[in-house]
Amino acid sequence: LRLWRRRGALVCVLLALAVLTAMYYIEGTHQQYVRYMEKKFFWCAYWVGLGILSSVGLGTGLHTFLLYLGPHIASVTLAAYECNSVNFPEPPYPDQIICPDEETTEGSISLWAIISKVRLEACMWGAGTAIGELPPYFMARAARLSGAEPDDEEYQEFEEMLEHAETAQDFASRAKLAVQNLVQKVGFFGILACASIPNPLFDLAGITCGHFLVPFWTFFGATLIGKAVIKMHIQKLFVIITFSKHIVEQMVALIGAIPSIGPSLQKPFQEYLEAQRIKLHHKSDSAVPQGENWLSWIFEKLVIVMVCYFILSIINSMAQSYAKRLQQKMYSEEKTK
């Protein structure tokens, strides 16, 4: 019935899809633009998907940043200072970074140029994290409207927190109450403030907004602006400044200043950075000398360990939820006897 009432909009959407499908399959000079848009679409979808996974599947929105977006921004930063340009040839960028053929003057790269180069990826990842905050909001909103108790630990903890708000003494409970009060009383700007800083308690803001029936666009609009624009620029600036050429060189020099073990630790870092510089100045079709570096080997193993830890933590959380449901079921059966 809803589709029939909006049949005009539905027909327009179907016509637009038909036109796009025809443009995609019909050969012509427009195909270069179609392929460009297709590539951009899948590139954006990739980062949005990682952002959603970071919020929904892996907790605080930090893990896929450390595993994917952070290293991508760092590699672009190191390459930009080495090449004195961000006009990397496409392809192979973004799969591989190669310095452009154009001659550039030393020190011509600016911080703003690097920010602009990685803005699309960062904003798409931030938008994904904002979308990932919607399930707690919809769950709490549905529970409030229907009056039913959802089988969700976070929502049950939220209700317990509201019941014992006056007697809360520990720091964690006070922090959660502060977030809840800020979101409830300030509204749009309170949600924006919570979403604009790295905040592991933001899931509580989604539950709070759903429980107190905050309008969808107020919650999602503030979350999207906070996470995809403000927070992402803060995180992006931190990574770019950390991996700037002079700071990296200072860090390597400080490693060498460590007594006894400093020079032995400094050598692999210098070899790794030199190998990356050589790689940036080789064309994709030329032979690049491949050398094994224990630093990259350790980083690869660290990533594998982190992924395994995330999987185990998810399995452990599911097992705890299942055990809790079994205990509640046994307790209710004993009460009915």
pLDDT band at 123 (very low <50, low <70, confident <90, very high): very high
Contact present, 224 and 125 (Cβ < 8 Å): no
Instruction: State the average pLDDT over residues 125-148.
Output: 84
Global pTM reads: 0.74
The highest-confidence range among 174-183, 226-235, 316-325, by mean pLDDT, is 226-235
Residue with tokens 């796009």: 20
pLDDT one-digit tens code per residue, 245-283: 777 777 777 777 777 777 777 777 777 777 767 776 665
Residue partners of 122: CB distance under 8 A and separation at least 6: 69, 73, 232, 233, 235, 236
Of 175-184, 310-319, 326-335, least confident by mean pLDDT is 175-184
Burial of 8 (0-12, 13-18, 19+ CB in 10 A): exposed
pLDDT one-digit tens code per residue, 156-190: 665 666 555 555 566 556 666 666 677 767 778 88
Instruction: State the average pLDDT over residues 99-122.
Output: 81
Long-range CB contacts for residues 43-50, cutoff 8 Å, separation at least 24: 43/94, 43/120, 43/121, 44/120, 44/124, 47/120, 47/121, 47/124, 47/125, 47/128, 48/124, 48/125, 48/127, 48/128, 48/131, 49/128, 50/125, 50/128
Contact present, 99 and 79 (Cβ < 8 Å): yes
- Is the pLDDT at 136 greater than 70? The verdict is yes
Instruction: State the average pLDDT over residues 131-153.
Output: 77
CA–CA dist 165, 304 (Å, integer): 41
CA–CA dist 100, 85 (Å, integer): 8
125, 229, 245, 43 alpha-carbon torsion, rounded to 10° = 30
Q: Tell me which residue of 144, 189, 187, 138 sits closest to 162, measured CA to CA.
A: 144
Contact present, 241 and 112 (Cβ < 8 Å): no
pLDDT band at 46 (very low <50, low <70, confident <90, very high): very high
Q: Where are the domains of the chain?
A: 57-243
What is the CA 5 to chain-centroid distance, rounded?
Answer: 38
Amino acid letter, residue 333: E
Please, what is the average pLDDT of the chain?
Answer: 78
Contact present, 115 and 310 (Cβ < 8 Å): no
